[in-house]
């Protein structure tokens, strides 16, 4: 199964979620590929992947084979990314069927994995479209704020357009509330609003706000490795079980 972690709004813990879902799946004995499609290269930074000679950029340009650039971190197979993706997006802009390039390259290896997790950029770019066209399902991380809800409406509109034109089989696995402070009335109000207004699954296991999740990338590891007993780690472990049972 190929799952994109996507939201057009920034600051929704997409990279943190992609890494920790991947780590949690590996701990459940699943074979996992984690792919960075973020223009800022956050996956590489957060997993301490430095000075890599090749990344997904060269794959999309047809310069290297996708299976030749896979690295390992915490038992996860990782395809790194870097800021050169911005140049790649410009280069592939005129390529025929350019929304399906990632799907084509992943088709070579995706059968080797139980899950492929894609970390997307916080924008509706050609690279994000590639991720959505390659994916079976998406997870939308969401902060329980007014701006977060506005971003969700835009994201859902985008998904419907992609389903209609590019990938009819794309499904939303669920909305994942992140950086949640359950003590705040606003969080509760927005959660109730989501339940009332959107006929979309909301994961039972939300991700609580916790400083350990923010600290972990500085050490180049997931929060499941950095602070396995923290609330964030516990939340991601429970989320992974929910994903597996989906």
CA of 234: how far to CAs of 11, 112, 212, 225, in Å? 21, 28, 12, 11
Domain of 119, in residue numbers: 2-244
> Which letter does DSSP use for residue 207 in this model?
-
CA atoms within 13 A on the CB side of 11: 8
29-72 residue pLDDT tens: 999 999 999 877 789 889 998 877 788 989 999 999 999 999 99
What is each CA distance from 75 to 25, 228, 235, in whole angstroms?
10, 16, 20
The CATH code of the domain that includes 197 is 3.40.50.300
Structure confidence at residue 38 (pLDDT):
84
State the DSSP string of 12-69.
S-HHHHHHHHHHHHHHTT--EEEEEE-TT-HHHHHTT--S-S--HHHHHTTSS-GGGS
Task: Write out pLDDT tens, residues 155-195.
Answer: 999 999 999 999 999 999 999 999 988 777 888 898 888 98
pTM for the model: 0.94
Using the Cα atoms of residue 62, residue 66, residue 72 and residue 73 in order, give the sign of their dihedral: positive
Domain count, the chain: 1
Give the integer Cα–Cα distance in Å for 201 and 90.
35
């Amino acid at each position: 199964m190929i799952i994109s972690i996507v939201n057009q709004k920034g600051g929704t813990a997409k990279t943190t979620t992609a890494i920790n879902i991947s780590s949690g799946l590996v701990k459940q004995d699943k074979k996992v590929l984690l792919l960075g499609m973020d223009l800022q290269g956050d996956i590489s930074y957060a997993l301490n992947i430095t000075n890599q000679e090749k990344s997904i950029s060269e794959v999309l340009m047809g310069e290297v084979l996708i299976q030749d650039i896979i690295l390992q971190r915490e038992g996860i197979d990782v395809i790194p990314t870097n800021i050169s993706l911005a140049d790649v997006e410009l280069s592939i802009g005129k390529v025929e069927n350019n929304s399906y390039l990632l799907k084509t390259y992943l088709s070579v290896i995706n059968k080797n994995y139980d899950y492929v997790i894609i970390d997307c950029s916080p924008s509706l770019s050609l690279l994000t479209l590639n991720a959505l066209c390659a994916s079976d399902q998406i997870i939308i991380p969401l902060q329980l704020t007014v701006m977060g809800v506005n971003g969700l409406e835009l994201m859902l509109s985008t998904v419907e357009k992609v389903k209609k034109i590019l990938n009819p089989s794309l499904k939303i696995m669920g909305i994942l509330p992140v950086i949640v402070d359950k003590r705040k009335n606003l969080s509760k109000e927005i959660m109730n609003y989501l339940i009332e207004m959107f006929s979309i699954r909301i994961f039972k296991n939300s991700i609580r706000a916790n400083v350990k999740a923010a600290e972990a990338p500085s050490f180049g590891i997931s929060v499941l490795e950095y602070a396995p007993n923290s609330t964030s780690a516990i939340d991601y472990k429970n989320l992974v079980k929910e994903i597996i049972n989906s």
